[in-house]
Chain A
Amino acid sequence: MAHFDENARPFSHKWLNERLAVDTLKRVLSTEYWIPKNINFLWAMGMILAATFGLLLISGIFLLMYYQPNTQLAFDSVNYTIMSEVGYGWLWRHIHGVGASVVFLIIYIHMFTGIYYGSYKRGRELIWLSGMLLFVLFSAEAFSGYMLPWGQMSYWAGMVITNLFSAGGLHLNGLVEWIRGDYVPGQAFLNRFFMLHVLLVPLAIIGTIVLHFGTLRIPHVNNQDGEEVDFDEEAEKYKAGKIKESKVIPFNPVFLSKDVFVMGVYFVIFFYLVFYHFEFAMDPVNFDPADPLKTPTHIYPEWYFLWSYEVLRPFSTNIGLIAFAFAQVIFFMLPFLDRSPNVAPASRRGAFKFWFWALLIDMIVLTFMGKLPPEGIWSTIGLLAALTFIGLWIALPIITSKEKKL
């Protein structure tokens, strides 16, 4: 039975503790949430992502106050009202645009850090899966947001991506029209993507971030050697004052101070981009209003989707769609395709080391090819890189099952 002290002052520490267990919460979530010492700056990417998401949310709230989800008004509400009438409207837009682009760079670094150090194995499978779910949700958020300025790239990206749902040879035109609410992207389409962008998908993202943190709490974060740390034992050492001998530190305030330092460096670069180089996140083609009767000469997605777009492009429709679907889901399978029991950095894992770097380089090549027009030598390189991507994932279970136990 809960005990409430009649004499406790409202909102005093005791009063709060009796009602909210603030001490327990603080202990479990911060001061006794143990982080291994043996990690580097790449482990700060999670907090950087959380902070960037916060910036996107805040800048989005201010953009929402002037944006008009109407095919006649949307373009001007962004490019005229927000950019030249609203005080500091440009700031929110540039933070939003740069943030949306940079957040994917950090997501990829975060993912490849996890792959390199084997942080998806031995109790950490759900961290990987919830993280991949976040990747999909961020992709949906980025795509739906890209529709909103209703420029040429918005319109034609919307056309091309919704057409993917006809599933090629299956001719599911009804499904495509249902998603659009029209025969072509129009008012119904803009309205529903607006709803998805500002409400449904952000809600799902916030929920999944909580899940992602939750999946991390019990297995704890991995470390640079993939060492299995006995967190209880090491925590006792730390609490007994043997701070140097203990392999762990508390999340708050010790690790958080390092996180904040890395975040500081990150935000210097981030705001440099916002103020001086925002144009990289703003496609010039999207400064033409949407025209349903004219396709831009080259249609390409934002840089962070280029690799999966390039997996689709070199093939005929049906094979392309299958390859594309493969590229979308295969990362989810990583914890189950990696058959090796080792949790260690890729550099100590034999053939996996080459697999890791081959995958990273291949995805960079795919990204570059996706941006180039599909002609001549670029087509050939794109095709080879797409086949390599598929081949690498087929090879993964074979390579890792032959790996020697460390």
Chain B
Amino acid sequence: MANNNGRRDFMGTVLGGFTALGGLGALYAMKRTWDPLPSVKAAGFTTLNMKEYKEGELVTEKWRGKPIFVLKQSPATIEKLKKEKPDDLKRLIKVGDGHYTVCVGLCTHLGCIPGFRPEKNDFLCACHGGVYDITAEVTKAPPPRGLDIPPFKIDGDKLVLGEEGPEYKKMLEEGITMPV
């Protein structure tokens, strides 16, 4: 009898073990099936010609299906920031002579699109009332941080979104933005 039980236990363990292994394999396959498709990932680059933007005028571009805010800052704004909020200057991207705010136009709270208010020089998210200043740094909760800056590479007068240039890597290191 004892012998018999030993064999049963062994068979049970082997069967259970193989079933568990198969189950884990199936779970992994299911996880991979839900991953973004390679075609979706490959389409993740956008090139912007920075000469086309006018000072103080917000343009919404598209990268990976997400809205991208591009705002060329006027020299007056830069002077004002130097005096009042020098830290915000680090959020700007310098291409040629211009200073640009380039950021993902999705609220860092839950992903609504904040609206630009030119008269107040800020962004208001209507969903939960978050406010961002002219460089898209947060000034009123609930958003936990300023709008994220997408990975970028400066290429002459052009900006390639989706590639990580040295300027972007520096921003990441200094904690100015989060990986998107």
Task: Say whether A317 faces chain B, with CB atoms less than 8 Å apart.
Answer: yes
Give the size category of B's interface with A: 20 to 34
Identity of the chain B residue whose Cβ is nearest the Cβ of A177 in the assembled complex: B36
Report the minimum CB–CB distance from A154 to chain B (whole Å): 14
Interchain CB contact under 8 A, A188 and B36: yes
Docked pose: A294 CA to B116 CA in angstroms: 12
Task: Say whether B143 faces chain A, with CB atoms less than 8 Å apart.
Answer: yes
Task: Choose one: B35, B112, B142; the contact of A181 (CB below 8 Å).
Answer: B35
Docked pose: A182 CA to B106 CA in angstroms: 15
Report the minimum CB–CB distance from B77 to chain A (whole Å): 25
Query: Would A293 and B113 be within 8 Å (CB), given that A178-B35, A317-B142 are in contact?
Result: yes
Stretch at the interface among B80-88, B91-99, B126-134: B126-134
Query: Would A293 and B111 be within 8 Å (CB), given that A183-B65, A299-B127, A317-B142 are in contact?
Result: no
Residues of A within 8 A of B180 (CB): 173
Docked pose: A313 CA to B130 CA in angstroms: 11
Docked pose: A184 CA to B180 CA in angstroms: 12
The digit string for B134-168, where 1 denotes a CB below 8 A from any CB of A, is 00000001111000000000000000000000000
Residues of B within 8 A of A374 (CB): 128-129
Residues of A within 8 A of B28 (CB): none
Give the size category of A's interface with B: 35 or more
Task: Say whether B109 faces chain A, with CB atoms less than 8 Å apart.
Answer: yes
The digit string for B58-98, where 1 denotes a CB below 8 A from any CB of A, is 00101011110000000000000000000000000000000
Docked pose: A297 CA to B127 CA in angstroms: 7
Report the minimum CB–CB distance from A318 to chain B (whole Å): 7
User: Max chain A CB contacts within 10 Å: which of B64, B65, B108, B115?
Assistant: B65
Task: Say whether A353 faces chain B, with CB atoms less than 8 Å apart.
Answer: no
- Chain B interface main SS type: loop
Residues of A within 8 A of B143 (CB): 317
Task: Say whether A160 faces chain B, with CB atoms less than 8 Å apart.
Answer: yes
Docked pose: A169 CA to B108 CA in angstroms: 10
Task: Say whether B16 faces chain A, with CB atoms less than 8 Å apart.
Answer: no
Docked pose: A404 CA to B79 CA in angstroms: 71
Identity of the chain A residue whose Cβ is nearest the Cβ of B109 in the assembled complex: A317
Task: Say whether A101 faces chain B, with CB atoms less than 8 Å apart.
Answer: no
Docked pose: A337 CA to B57 CA in angstroms: 56
Docked pose: A373 CA to B124 CA in angstroms: 13
Task: Say whether A171 faces chain B, with CB atoms less than 8 Å apart.
Answer: yes
Residues of B within 8 A of A192 (CB): 34
Task: Say whether A164 faces chain B, with CB atoms less than 8 Å apart.
Answer: yes
Task: Say whether A113 faces chain B, with CB atoms less than 8 Å apart.
Answer: no
Interchain CB contact under 8 A, B112 and A299: yes
Interface residues of B (CB under 8 A from A): 31, 34-37, 40, 44, 60, 62, 64-67, 106, 108-113, 115, 126-129, 141-144, 178-180
Given contacts A297-B126, A318-B144, 11 further A-B contacts (CB under 8 A): A164-B110, A169-B144, A183-B65, A186-B40, A192-B34, A293-B60, A293-B113, A313-B128, A317-B141, A317-B143, A373-B129
Sample of 20 A–B contacts (CB below 8 Å): A164-B110, A171-B178, A173-B180, A177-B36, A178-B31, A184-B64, A184-B65, A292-B66, A292-B67, A293-B60, A295-B112, A298-B126, A299-B127, A316-B141, A316-B142, A316-B144, A317-B108, A318-B144, A320-B142, A374-B129
